[in-house]
Structure formats: C-alpha cells, structure tokens
Amino acid sequence: MKRQAGITVSAIVLILGSLLQLLSAFGAAAAGFVEHGQIASGGNVAAKAGATMPAWLPGFMYGFSAFLVALAVWGILTAVGLFRLRRWARYSVLVIGGCLALIGLPSLLMMLVMMAVPLPMLANADPSQAQMVHTFTKVMFGVISAFYGIVCAVGVSWLVYFNRRQVREVFAGMPGQLSQGQSTESRRPMMISVLAVFIMIGAPMCLIMVFAPFPAAILGLILHGWVKAAVFLVYGALMAAAGVGLWRLEEWARRLALAMQVVGLAQLVLYIIRPSLITDYSAEVNQAMNVPQPQSPAQLQTMMYDVSFGFGALLFVAIVWILIHYRGVFRHPNAPAQIESPA
C-alpha cells in the first residue's frame, strides 16, 4: 500500500516535536537539580533577599521532566507506527491531534485576552518606559499566540486528515472496499474512541492530584489531606471505568460519562454564579505552595474567567453531543449493538 505524503509529513512533525520535548525534559531536570542543590545549601540569592524557594519545586521539575519524556516516547512510537502504516497509529495520532487542539485553542484565546488588556507597570519601573514596555508585552503575547495557533492548527488538521476515507483505507490495507460497501472501520466511531482515550488519560491525572502538595476544589468545597486523596481516587477510578467502558461500547459507561459531565456543569455554573470561590481557592493554593499572591488587574481576571468558562461550556456541549449522537452504537441490555459505517 502506497504511503501518502501527509502521513510521512505528520510522522516527521511528530518526531521533531518529540525531540523538542526531550530537550525540554532535560532542561527541566537540570533546573530541578540546580534548585535542589540551592535549597540544600541554603545559600541561594532568593534566600539572601528574604524570599524562600518552595521545597516542592525540585520534585515538581523532576516530575514534569518525566511527563515530557513519556509524551516524547508516545510521539516517537506513534511516528514509527505511521511509517509502518499500523492501524493503532492512526488512532494514536487522532488522540494526539485532539490533545493539541484542546491545549492550543484555549491557550490561544488566553494569550489574545492578555494582549487586549493593558497590564500594570511595576512599582519600581520608570514611567517614561511605559509605552515601550507595553509594546514589548504585546509583541511577546502575539508571538506566543502565533505558537499556540500553530499547535491548534496542527491538531485540527490531524483530526481531519486522518479521518479521511483514503487515509483510513491506507491503514486498513484494503483499498477500494469502502466504495464497495464494506466498512474497514470497527463499529466504534472515531469520536467515541477519542473521547474514551481522553477520559482514560484523565484517570492518572486524578492520581497526580492525590499526591499534589496543594488543596483541591470541587463544587465550591476546598479539600485537603486524606479527604482530597479519597475523592480523587474514587473519581479517578470512575474515569478509568468510564473510559474502558466507552471503548467497549457499554451503555452503562455512556451513562456514567454523561453523569460526570453533569457534575462538571454544576461546578461550572457554581463558579460562574460565585466567582469569589475561585479567588479563595487560588489564595489557598498559593499559600500552600509558598507562592506570593499575584496582583492582576480586575479587568484581566474577569476576561480570563469568561474565556475559561466559555471554553468549559463548549467542551461540555461537545462531549454531551457525542455521547447522545452515537448512543445507537452502545450495547443496551438484551439488545445487540448497531453497526455504524464511517461518515
């Protein structure tokens, strides 16, 4: 089967991105090592200036480095699978593309918001340099916005390209059969597969929150210690079960995923009605992590909250639509599952 040029280009982009992540992982590990030595010696510049470096920072840098290495390995394995035209590699790159789109779009919107709102000058800054500082800030946020725009565009392009019929035929290894009425896809729609993987990825994220050195906020409540750990362990188990169940097209998993979205919507509405809950939670997180409370303009905070809430609402609508639209492919009790051909 002849490999299309887009598959080769996508594999090369994955390899380059993975190498960049490995380089970033090395930098994060090196920074963690230096910070660990400074904390152990107690002679760093920050301590002499009266500021204390958080003790959790080196461990966070090591963990972040390991996370980047894991992502790089995932990307390289997916690129190898694309070169070999493995069917699982197409699903993997679809998940990666979805992740890039979910990361790039809200980050792009946030950077555009930062460009639109003038940031306050530092107390010890020269007032005559205010115009130059604002111009430099806008240029910086513009460059970052362009970067996230590229990330989002790459993710969306992979979602579209690797779901084309010709590309599916290449990975299936059976050209022309789609035109003859024979589906090379399983009865699990691509969007359900991507959603199942996203939910399964969320399960280890809950495990990370169990050991995170800061409190958590759920439905307006700020959780600490073993209460936080118990809640996230249960929620992580539910996410893992829902992800596996969606992959296997179980009806109970679809209903569980819908129920979890309802909980998320309730939390979103609560924070929209009472935005002070977010401010209180941020203050507790900064206090727990020994980070000074940042002073941001009220207009900037409002716009950031609006963008975050708006994106959360759109994500909720998209997930609920997927779960309802494809409800016919799930196994209902005492009824066989329907088989759906690719769009």
Q: Is residue 166 part of a domain?
A: no
**What's the pLDDT band for 323 if we cut at 50, 70, 90?**
very high
Give 235 or 124, the one with higher predicted confidence: 235
State the average pLDDT over residues 236-262: 93
**Strands 221-223 and 216-218, how do they pair?**
antiparallel
3-state secondary structure of 18: helix
As a whole number of angstroms, the distance between CA 167 and CA 187 comes to 18
Instruction: State the residue range of the domain holding 207.
Output: 186-343
Assess if residue 160 is contained within a domain.
Answer: no
Cα 286 to Cα 136, 207, 279, 289, distances in angstroms = 28, 21, 11, 5
Cβ atoms of 246 and 254 within 8 Å: the answer is yes
Using alpha carbons, select from 256, 249, 257 the residue that is nearest to residue 330: 249
Q: How confident is the model at residue 20 (pLDDT cuts 50, 70, 90)?
A: very high
- What is the reported pLDDT for 239? 93
| pTM of full prediction above 0.85 | no
Of all residues in the chain, the percent with pLDDT exceeding 70 is 76
With 80 as the cut, is the pLDDT of residue 131 above it? no
Structure tokens at 3: 């490999």
Name every residue whose Cβ is closer than 8 Å to that of residue 156 and which is 6 or more positions away in sequence: 97, 101
What average pLDDT does this structure show over 185-209? 80
Flag whether 201 is in a domain: yes
Is the dihedral angle over the CA atoms 248, 251, 257, 261 positive or is it negative?
Answer: positive
Band the pLDDT of 285: cuts 50, 70, 90.
Answer: confident
Does 3 map to a domain? no
**Coil, strand or helix: which one is 137?**
helix
pLDDT at 34: 79
Quick one: average pLDDT of 37-49?
A: 54
CB count within 10 Å of CB 108 equals 20
Residue 335 phi, psi dihedral angles, 5° rounding: -145, 135
Question: What is d(CA 263, CA 218) in angstroms, rounded to the nearest whole number?
Answer: 10
Dist. CA 189–CA 343, nearest whole Å: 9
57 Cβ contact list (under 8 Å, min separation 6) = 32, 35, 39
User: For 66-83, what is the mean pLDDT?
Assistant: 92
Torsion of CA 75, 157, 202, 285, to 10 degrees: 100
**Residue 247 placed within a domain:** yes
pLDDT at 50: 47
The answer as to whether 319 is a domain residue is yes
pLDDT grade, residue 164 (50/70/90)? confident
Q: Is residue 96 part of a domain?
A: no
Residue 155 falls within a domain, yes or no? no
C-alpha angle 59/63/69, rounded to 5°? 145
Average pLDDT over residues 110-133: 69
Which token pair is 318?
A: 């998209």
Contacts of 269 (CB under 8 A, 6+ apart): none
What is the number of domains present in the chain?
Answer: 1
Instruction: Give the per-residue pLDDT at 342.
Output: 45
Give the mean model confidence (pLDDT) for residues 66-94. Answer: 91
Fill in the amino acid letter for 93: V
Of the ranges 15-19, 49-53, 61-65, 74-78, which one carries the lowest mean pLDDT score?
49-53
User: Is the pLDDT at 237 greater than 90, yes or no?
Assistant: yes
